C-alpha cells in the first residue's frame, strides 16, 4: 500500500513539474514573439505554421551559413552557427522540427505588441513557427509577403530576446 502511494506521489510530482515546465516554455515563446515585434505594427496569423522543410538548413550548418543575411553576432563578434549551437542542441532542434504538430494557436492574451488575424488574404499578415527554445537561445521561421527567413535569438542578461542573426530563404525588395 505504501509503495502505491509513493508511486502515485512521484507520478503526481512529475505531472505537476511537466505542466509547470510546459507553461513556462509557452510564456517564454510568447515573450520572444512580443519582444521581436514590439516596434512594428504587425498582424500575425493566429496559428503557428509548419517549418516547411527548413530542417535541412538547421541540420546542415554550412548551408545555413551560406544563406543571404547578416552573420550571427554575439558580444560584438561574428560567431558561426555551429559555434552558437552545439551539435547536441542542433540535433534537439531538428528533432523538435520533425515532431512539430500544426494547429497550435498563438495566445493573444500573452501578447502586448502584436495583433492576431485569421484572414490569410490580408496582404501584410505575418506567419511564424513556434519558437524553438534551447538554453537561452531560440530559432524561429518567419514568412511574410516578400520574405521568408530564419531568425536566431539569444536571451540577454536583462531577460530580453535579441536577434543574433537573420538568414533569408526568400527576399523580394520592392520599389
What is the average pLDDT value for the chain, to the nearest integer?
83
Residue 2: its pLDDT value, please? 59
**130 with 95: CB under 8 angstroms?**
no
What is the pLDDT confidence band of residue 10, given thresholds at 50, 70 and 90? very low
- Please provide the distance, in angstroms rounded to a whole number, between the alpha carbons at the two ends of the chain: 75
What is the pLDDT confidence band of residue 13, given thresholds at 50, 70 and 90? very low
Residue 16: its pLDDT value, please? 43
The candidate with the shortest Cα–Cα distance to 150, out of 95, 38, 69, 32, is: 69
The candidate with the shortest Cα–Cα distance to 48, out of 108, 153, 137, 129, is: 129
**107 with 26: CB under 8 angstroms?**
yes
What is the pLDDT confidence band of residue 111, given thresholds at 50, 70 and 90? confident
Strand pairing class (114-117; 42-45)? parallel
Sequence ranges of the domains in the chain? 2-171
The better pLDDT of the pair 52, 136 is held by 136
Q: What is the pTM of this model?
A: 0.81
Residue 55: its pLDDT value, please? 86
Give the phi and the psi of residue 75 in degrees, each rounded to 5: 55, 45
Residue 9: its pLDDT value, please? 47
Amino acid at each position: 500500500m505504501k509503495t502505491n502511494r509513493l508511486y502515485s506521489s512521484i507520478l503526481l510530482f512529475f505531472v505537476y513539474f511537466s505542466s509547470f515546465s510546459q507553461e513556462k516554455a509557452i510564456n517564454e515563446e510568447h515573450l520572444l514573439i512580443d519582444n521581436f515585434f514590439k516596434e512594428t505594427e504587425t498582424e500575425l496569423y493566429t496559428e503557428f505554421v509548419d517549418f516547411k522543410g527548413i530542417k535541412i538548413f538547421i541540420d546542415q550548418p554550412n548551408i545555413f551559413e551560406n544563406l543571404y543575411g547578416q552573420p550571427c553576432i554575439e558580444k560584438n563578434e561574428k560567431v558561426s552557427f555551429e559555434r552558437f549551437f552545439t551539435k547536441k542542441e542542433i540535433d534537439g532542434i531538428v528533432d523538435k522540427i520533425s515532431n512539430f504538430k500544426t494547429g497550435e494557436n498563438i495566445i493573444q492574451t500573452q501578447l502586448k505588441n502584436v495583433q492576431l488575424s485569421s484572414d490569410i488574404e490580408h496582404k501584410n499578415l505575418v506567419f511564424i513557427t513556434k519558437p524553438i527554445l534551447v538554453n537561452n537561445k531560440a530559432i524561429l521561421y518567419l514568412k511574410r509577403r516578400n520574405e521568408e527567413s530564419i531568425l536566431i535569438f539569444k536571451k540577454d542578461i536583462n531577460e530580453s530576446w535579441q536577434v543574433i542573426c537573420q538568414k533569408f530563404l526568400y527576399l523580394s525588395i520592392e520599389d
